[in-house]
Amino acid sequence: MLTGKRVRIRAKGKIFEGIVMPSFTGSLVLKLENGYNAGFREYEIIEVLEDFRAQVPRAEIVRREDLPNVKIISTGGTIASRVDYRTGAVTSQFTAEEIVSDVPEIAEICNVEAELLYNILSENMKPSYWIELARRVYESLKKYEGVIVTHGTDTMHYSASALAFMLSTPKPVVFVGAQRSSDRPSSDAAMNLICSAKLATSDVGEVLVCMHGTTSDEFCYAHRGVKVRKMHTSRRDAFQSINAKPVAKIDYPSLEIEWLSWRYRRGERELKLRDRLEEKVALVKFYPGLGSDIIDYYHSKGYRGFVIEGTGLGHVSTDWIETLKKVCEDSIVVMTSQCLYGRICDRVYDTGRDLLRAGVIEGEDMLPEVALVKLMFLLGNYSLEEAKELVKKNFVGEIEPRSTY
């Protein structure tokens, strides 16, 4: 077992040094000196330098009867680990003791129990992992007041959407990540985690994403899982609600919650899980000159769900119309916009009207990624004809009735 040890390896013709993190993918994951994690499939261990694991201080967990119980499920990403450069200690934030010794404020808000599900960068997520995650969250919701999912930020909004569709929840399910790992002075990990703990014990019953609201440590936003997107590569306030208001603002450090939009309240919905997804759904971004043979290709591979990220109000080249007409006979094609903000309206221009005649469905104000996950969910659970009707309907707030943003 190399986990927790500092090693020197040779990979890709270079030498790397770092601390071995838990990994589930068969790759070696190293926490490098610069604070980032890197995965290596092929490598040669040159030397095991030190074992820091034993030096990690552990807080003693004292269960408080007056506090709610919250489950933290780790899936990996930047938030999942830190290195204390003074001692070299690895704190993986995978056990309740590690989380509480790293972020002691959490123990004032709730009793935490922790479960390590994955330790992956979120670009390595897959629909099958969303299903496993949904099952774990579902089981946890039977016993705990709320669930926190720690997750890499890159694809957090896909996972949050997947859970929002698969899981009807009477309690909060809060996704949280960090743009900077907690061994860096500018880390957002602790504050995001503290605000997410507050949210996980609050009066809300839906899937949310909790991240910094500004670049400084003033407040976090709780975004609806189906209305949020990572909009910046590195800023701490990278996550923004699109075509909707954030659900809440959690002030820091007072942790007062201000509700900013409608929400599902705690206890409003019954706990249910529908854990089937059809993976053969494609998301295709149109650009000038892209031929419709890309659609033919997916179709020939058995894909029956398509989300197109079209231009403006929801367009692709007129050259695509014949292909789309053919594909729409046995598939669903949903149009979304690469503008992200605003609503699809294919009634304004001729190209749009042709698309509607071909059978393309307007994706309203849904984000392309959300439409993708929704189609996976619908095709996994309903017939094609039913899915064609249901995709236009709002399930969990992914379609706002009116565009006011």
Sheet holding 257-259, edge to edge: 111-116, 69-74, 146-150, 173-176, 207-212, 219-224, 248-251, 257-259
75 in active site: no
**111 vs 181, which CB is nearer to ligand ASP?**
181
Write down the catalytic residue from 31, 71, 230, 388. 230
CB of 177 or CB of 380, closer to ligand ASP: 177
Q: How far is the CB of 215 from ligand ASP (least distance, A)?
A: 16
Closest contact distance (angstroms) between CB of 259 and ligand ASP is 27
Output 212 or 304, the one with its CB closest to ligand ASP: 212
Active-site residue identified among 31, 71, 75, 78: 78
Give DSSP secondary structure letters for 51-94.
E-GGG---PPP---TTS-EEEEEE--SGGG-EEETTTTEEE---
User: CB of 149: closest distance to ligand ASP in angstroms?
Assistant: 13
Of residues 196 and 351, the one with the C-beta less far from ligand ASP? 196
CA-wise closest residue to 148 among 88, 81, 82, 80: 80
Query: Catalytic site residue 153?
Result: yes
* From 75, 91, 153, 323, the catalytic residue: 153
CA dist 13 → 6, 9, 10, 38, 44 (Å): 19, 10, 6, 15, 10
- Whether 78 is catalytic is yes
The answer to whether 233 is a known catalytic residue is no
Q: Which listed residue (51, 154, 217, 275) is catalytic?
A: 154
* Footprint of ligand ASP (CB under 6 A): 77-78, 121-123, 152-154, 177
Q: How far is the CB of 202 from ligand ASP (least distance, A)?
A: 24
In angstroms, what is the minimal distance from the CB of 35 to ligand ASP? Answer: 11
For ligand ASP, the closer of residues 183 and 251 by Cβ is 183
Residue closest to ligand ASP (Cβ) = 152
Cβ-based neighbour number of residue 128 at 10 Å: 10
CB crowding 77-116: b at 16 or more within 10 Å, else e: bbbbbbbbeeeebbbbbbbbbbbbbbbeebbebbbbbbeb
φ, ψ for residue 13, nearest 5 deg = 75, 5
Nearest alpha carbon to residue 97 among 63, 146, 138: 63
As annotated, the active-site residues are 78, 153-154, 230
